[in-house]
């Protein structure tokens, strides 16, 4: 037996080495798991910060929603410039890719049956929800009017998959809603999305002074 072991010692040493390695977590595996957890935490922190910004946007000093933490240029207003600066200061949720922007009405808010043609959406709801997709972590600014590039309406942030939703209030039969998505890399994409509110006339008759 001893002769056999001496003769085949290199083989036994190789087997012992393999057994020892099998009980150790490979360094590459541990490193790949750790960054994944770190990335998930970092992304969550980025999204939470951007979501907090949207709650304060737009606002002015002295207003109930004004938060000086998001008035990054210290001009007494939380506006688009602050949002763009905030985006640049936070860790990216992904690599730079061409930015896109798609929009549609949430299924529950889409008018059914025979409805007028409209390039955006048609709804019976006074406060429909618009859903969309763009770059993960992008801020989405909104506004109403005729190509309102000031976009003073509410804002939203795209989640880690690029999805977002935002509720808008209708004030006319045809509501010209404008959207602009801005990512961390300074890319932006604008999209006009007119919404036809079928209940406008009836609401106007009931509340002539409220619109």
| Out of 22-31, 66-75, 86-95, least confident range | 22-31
pLDDT more than 90, % of the chain:
64
Q: Which residue has the higher pLDDT, 153 or 183?
A: 183
Strand order in the sheet with 155-157: 121-123, 188-197, 174-182, 139-144, 155-157
Q: Find where tokens 């025979």 sit.
A: 114
pLDDT of residue 108: 97
- Find the mean pLDDT for residues 106-112: 96
Number of domains observed in the structure of the chain: 1
Residues near 198 by beta carbon (within 8 Å), at least 6 away in sequence: 111, 115, 116, 122, 123, 124
Is 74 part of a structural domain of the chain?
Answer: no
Say whether pLDDT at 126 is over 60: yes
Q: What is the CATH number of the domain that holds 188?
A: 2.60.40.10
CA distances for 200 relative to 105, 106, 205, angstroms = 17, 19, 9
Is 26 part of a structural domain of the chain?
Answer: no
| Average pLDDT for the chain | 84
Is 152 part of a structural domain of the chain?
Answer: yes
Is 172 part of a structural domain of the chain?
Answer: yes
pLDDT of residue 133: 99
Say whether pLDDT at 30 is over 60: no
Is 181 part of a structural domain of the chain?
Answer: yes
Is 122 part of a structural domain of the chain?
Answer: yes
For residue 145, the enclosing domain spans 98-206
Say whether pLDDT at 7 is over 90: no
- The pTM assigned to this predicted structure is 0.77
- Find the mean pLDDT for residues 3-18: 46
Q: How far apart are CA 132 and CA 163, in angstroms?
A: 6
Is 30 part of a structural domain of the chain?
Answer: no
Is 188 part of a structural domain of the chain?
Answer: yes
């Amino acid at each position: 037996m001893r002769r056999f072991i001496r003769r085949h010692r290199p083989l036994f040493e190789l087997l012992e080495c393999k057994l020892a390695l099998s009980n150790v977590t490979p360094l590459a595996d541990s490193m790949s798991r750790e960054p994944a957890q770190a990335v998930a935490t970092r992304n969550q922190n980025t999204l939470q910060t951007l979501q907090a910004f949207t709650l304060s946007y737009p606002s002015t000093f002295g207003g109930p929603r004004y938060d000086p933490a998001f008035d990054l240029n210290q001009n007494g207003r939380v506006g688009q410039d602050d949002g763009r600066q905030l985006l640049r200061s936070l860790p990216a949720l992904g690599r730079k890719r061409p930015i896109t922007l798609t929009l549609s009405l949430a299924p529950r808010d889409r008018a059914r049956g025979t409805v007028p043609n409209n390039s955006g959406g048609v709804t019976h709801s006074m406060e429909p929800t618009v859903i969309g997709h763009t770059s993960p972590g992008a801020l989405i600014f909104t506004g109403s009017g005729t190509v309102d590039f000031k976009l003073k309406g509410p804002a939203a942030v795209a989640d880690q998959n690029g999805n977002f939703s935002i509720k808008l209030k209708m004030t006319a039969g045809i509501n010209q809603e404008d959207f602009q998505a801005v990512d961390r890399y300074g890319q932006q994409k604008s999209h006009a999305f007119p919404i036809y509110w079928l209940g406008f006339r009836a609401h106007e008759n009931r509340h002539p002074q409220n619109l």
